[in-house]
Structure 1
Amino acid sequence: MAEWSVLFMGPVGAGKTTAIHTLSDIEVVHTEARATDATRHLKATTTVSMDVGVLHLPGNDKLRLYGAPGQDRFDFMWDILLEQAKAAIVLVNHAAPHPERDLALYMRNIAERLGQRPLPLVVGVTHADRQPDRPLSIYDDCLIPRPTCPPTAAYRCCSWMRATGRRCARC
Structure 2
Amino acid sequence: MSTVSISHAPHLSTLYSQHHGWLYGWLRGKLGNAGDAADLAQDTFVRLMGKREAAPLREPRGYLATIARGLLIDRYRRQALEQAYLEALARQPEPHTISAETQAIIIETLLAVDRLLERLGTRTRAVFLLAQIEELSYVEISARLGVSLPTVKKHLVRAYTECLVLAAT
Larger strand fraction of residues: 1
Larger relative contact order, structure 1 or 2 (CA cutoff 8 Å, min sep 6): 1
Query: Which range, TM-score by smaller chain?
Result: under 0.3
Larger helix fraction of residues: 2
User: TM-score scaled to structure 1, two decimals?
Assistant: 0.27
User: TM-score scaled to structure 2, two decimals?
Assistant: 0.27
